Homo-oligomer: A and B are copies of this chain.
Amino acid sequence: MKKETTVPTMKDVAKEAGVALGTVSKVVNGLPVGESYRLRVEAAIEKLNYQVNSYAQGLKSSRTYTAALLIPNTKTPFFSSLAYYINLSLLKRNYRMLLCSTDFDLSQEQEYVTMAQQNKVDGIIGLTYNPNLLVDEHIPFVSIDRSMGPNIPCVASDNFAGGQLAAEKLADLGCKHVAFLRIGSSLSNEPNKRKSGFENGCLARGLTYEMKILNDGDSFEEFEKFLKDHIQNGKLIFDGIFCVTDNVAWSVLKILDKLHQQVPEDVQVIGFDGIRMFGDQDYICSTIVQPLPDIAEMCVELLLQENMMPKPPLVCLPVTYAWGGTTRENFEE
């Protein structure tokens, strides 16, 4: 009483329908075939519950209709939303998504790329941190947030404009002396431009500013020290703070609370990313929103576009400002 575990193949279908192998193949692939034959084949497929073996298919065509997404993890809201939208965009084109969490591990990143190249996927979308990442010429690769060379397109938000927008918003809302708080990799990537954009915006709007840039190992307590050092007579000398991410903003909000500074009355805070509670509800803070659906769509588009021709090296997508409770709704003096 052994359970028959063999799955029916095209050959079985052909035998069942009393037609040739090739005919079945044509029916399966929607190629023209005699009506009566088609019906018989379809009946046989139904009867045997036949499914094409995509591995045999892939072996022939070297197309797998699968793309790999390399991101650090899916726990962090930004990455998990990104994964969500990229999955959606891939699905729209009938592609499946292989998810590869790298946990910021550089060698893991390389391993995944190598793995992905073993003909398992048609292309890779990667948000990676390994500056020496080796990726084969032959496999389509699209990078997020970091330029990886002339032949690999990079998709990102317009981080510079985002920084600028933050400065402008703070100015619009009445700020005079602001701060920029940053933590991040020493790696050269697109999000680093938030700083320059912010400086630019401050200069343009006559805001004076100070910066606190944490090193890789530092904890958020450094921010607390920094802010504490800038309190005079119980009052923070900044009336606006731009944080490099919503996560930083959120930590800063906790610190400000501890230091008895009212937000947004005493000091207004703007973050970056556009993280929402539970993925789709309120914003955590006032923020510069990254256009995740657009980023995803662009990545997939670039990855799958047939003509390898003119792939742009860098695509920056427009960001928007969203109010999230940590800035004034309107400026009234």
Contacts and interface: CB of A to CB of B under 8 A. Distances in A.
Contacts of A138: 5, 7
B97 A99 contact: yes
A101 B87 contact: yes
A115 interface: yes
A130 B64 CA distance: 28
Interface stretch (A52-60, A163-171, A210-218, A260-268): A52-60
Interface residues of A, number: 51
Contacts of A275: 278
A23 interface: no
Interface of A: 3, 5, 7, 49, 51-56, 58-59, 62, 64, 66, 69, 73-77, 80-81, 83-84, 87-88, 91, 96-101, 114-115, 117-120, 136-138, 247, 250, 275, 277-280, 284
Contact of A81 (B52, B58, B75): B75
A84 B74 CA distance: 5
A56 B55 CA distance: 7
A75 B280 contact: yes
13 contacts: A7-B119, A53-B118, A53-B119, A66-B98, A66-B120, A73-B279, A74-B87, A87-B99, A88-B101, A97-B99, A98-B99, A99-B99, A247-B278
Given A75-B84, A80-B279, 16 more contacts: A5-B138, A7-B138, A51-B114, A51-B117, A52-B118, A53-B118, A54-B119, A55-B55, A55-B64, A73-B279, A74-B84, A74-B87, A75-B80, A76-B279, A91-B101, A250-B277
